[in-house]
Amino acid sequence: NALSSNHAQRLNSIGFVWDHFDQLWNENFNQLCAFKAKSGHCNVSQNDERNKSLGLWVSLQRESYKKSSLKSDHIQKLSSIGFIWDLHERSYEL
């Protein structure tokens, strides 16, 4: 039972979300971009009360990257905004 292109177009026209995970990921990514615009970096602390959930999301991205389970387009997007994948390695460089 394939969805006809007409039905798909109608669903798209009302903003139907096809992939909820990607939508949530993009919302968090946009929040990270806003955080970076204000703070100048992407290192959101999980201890920051105002950004606790974003800090957790950032930590999960690093964990997923280390486990090679982060989608390549997500890696590219995060890298494009200067995301630091290994904070420990970065601190040795400074």
Dihedral angle sign, alpha carbons of residues 57, 60, 61, 62: positive
Q: Which residues, 6 or more positions from 65, have their beta carbon under 8 angstroms from its beta carbon?
A: 75, 85
**What pLDDT is attached to residue 44?**
96
**What pLDDT is attached to residue 90?**
59
Banded pLDDT at 83 (limits 50, 70, 90): very high
CA distances from 75 to 4, 20, 43, 53 (A): 33, 19, 16, 20
pLDDT in tens, 25-46: 999 999 999 999 999 999 999 9
* Model pTM above 0.85: no
